[in-house]
Amino acid sequence: MSQRSCLSIILAAGEGTRMKSAMPKVLHAIAGLPMVAHVVKAAEAAGATALALVIGHGAEEMRKAAQKFAPRAETFVQERRLGTAHAVLAAREAISKDYDDILVMFGDTPLIDAGVLAAARQKLAEGAAVAVIGFRPPNPTGYGRLVEKGGRLAAIREEKDCSEAEKKIGFCNAGMMAVAGKHALRLLDKVGNSNAKGEFYLTDIVEIAGAEGLDVVATEASFESALGINNRAELAEAEGIWQGRRRREAMLSGVTLIAPETVYFSHDTEIGADTIVEPNVWFGPGVKIASGARIHAFSHIEGATIASNCDVGPFARLRPGADLKQKAKVGNFCEIKQATIEEGAKVNHLTYIGDARVGAGANIGAGTITCNYDGYSKFFTDIGEGAFVGSNSSLVAPLTIGKGGYIASGSVITESVPDDALAFGRARQKTLPGKGRELRERFASAAAAKKRVAE
């Protein structure tokens, strides 16, 4: 089957009014990726050699988004919504290119498994003209039933048209199907609209193909894989299912999740074996973690690279461009952005490091900040190997602190510091005996006067 060409048509023209959103429904995200992009990934994993997106509502927004998650996809606009067969035929130009297999999918089924799609394609390779994907929901009410006879699919019957016996069928239509390319256009063109809604239903090709003596079969997907999203409650449900799958996958690959249900992964999170993740950690897009790291509780990480045996958090925030080398430490209430923390360096407490490099073995004291932005431009701070930056220091970029440099606590450093130099950037302390008591008495008198006026 690997040599068979395959066009995957993804129907994504729905307005999604139940989402209560101006954004096209299929662009709402699961694990940080638009749900339609999850469908694209499944199609590609199932061997699709070409992609066609049928769009409608928010067409320009869809095209722009598709450039990111499906840059090689062709887009076709369904100008009027006249049913699923009508939507598929919007991609007539693509269908006519003599693909062996045509997969028809929906952009709002983000949990579809590539294995299910591959199984449907396999049926085509074995000679079927149409392979319909079915599933068994906990309650089949409202779903079209797959009526089978003699091991073949005879019809897809909408519930309102089902006999009492057919209503008892638990095998239901998931909407997706695979169609042999050589039959696809002919079958689709035979679909009529003699129904109450005057629409062209894709499901009609089952009986049309059967009437031609073609082989029509059904394959089965899990209920979760076939789950369609129509509102934000269902979106949250799908997110939960996706996260559950990913957490289990991570744990089975050697990652310890102490409280799995509290850890949230992104669609592209990479995490190595022997990493330990404590409760309430959020991974945004673009995170890569090597083996043996420890991510402490309540950390928020996105667009970051974390090397082996690093220690992060608790309550750490790693923003895009954070790059932690081996055995680096970023501690509690620290924020790192567009900065490299070299091997063994420590950024332990209440610190912001942005647009910077912290050299190997350097130590950054509590309350230190790199002042990297002047309101218009960003500037770089380079902190050398083995440097020590005392607590409550402000490092005003552009700035270089040399190898082994030492910054006194409470300093504001505006000029570069040579290797092994000691830098002070604070006013000399002055102590005035008795002035503390005098100051308190003055403040107390002022407060009492203010109270009397208020009364």
| 8 A C-beta contact, residue 173 and residue 143 | yes
- Structure-token pair, residue 388: 């020590």
CA–CA separation, 328 and 10 (whole Å): 45
CA–CA separation, 235 and 241 (whole Å): 10
Give the CB-side neighbour count of residue 267, counting CA atoms within 13 A. 17
Q: Which of 395, 343, 338 is nearest to 368 (CA)?
A: 395
For 148: left if phi > 0, alpha if psi spans -120 to 50, otherwise beta; the answer is beta
Instruction: Indicate if the alpha-carbon torsion angle 192, 196, 197, 203 is positive or negative.
Output: negative
At 177, which helix (H) or strand (E)? strand 172-180
Phi, psi of 332 (to 5 degrees): -75, 135
SS3 (DSSP) at 257: strand
**Burial of 121: CB neighbours in 10 Å, binned 0-12, 13-18, 19+:** buried
Q: Which of 36, 172, 57, 41 is nearest to 109 (CA)?
A: 36
Q: Which of 108, 36, 46 is nearest to 73 (CA)?
A: 36
Cα 365 to its chain centre, rounded Å, is: 35
CA–CA separation, 151 and 136 (whole Å): 17
| 8 A C-beta contact, residue 180 and residue 102 | yes
For 401-426, the DSSP string reads E-TT-EE-TT-EE-S-B-TT-EE--S
**Helix 35-45 vs helix 114-125: angle between axes, to the nearest 10 degrees?**
40
At 320, which helix (H) or strand (E)? none
SS3 (DSSP) at 125: helix
Bridge-based pairing of strands 276-277 and 288-289 is unpaired
**Catalytic site residue from 57, 183, 267, 349:** 349
Phi, psi of 270 (to 5 degrees): -115, 130
CA–CA separation, 370 and 372 (whole Å): 6
DSSP for residue 58 = B
Is 349 a catalytic site residue? yes
Strand partners, 146: 156
Q: Catalytic residues, which ones? A: 349
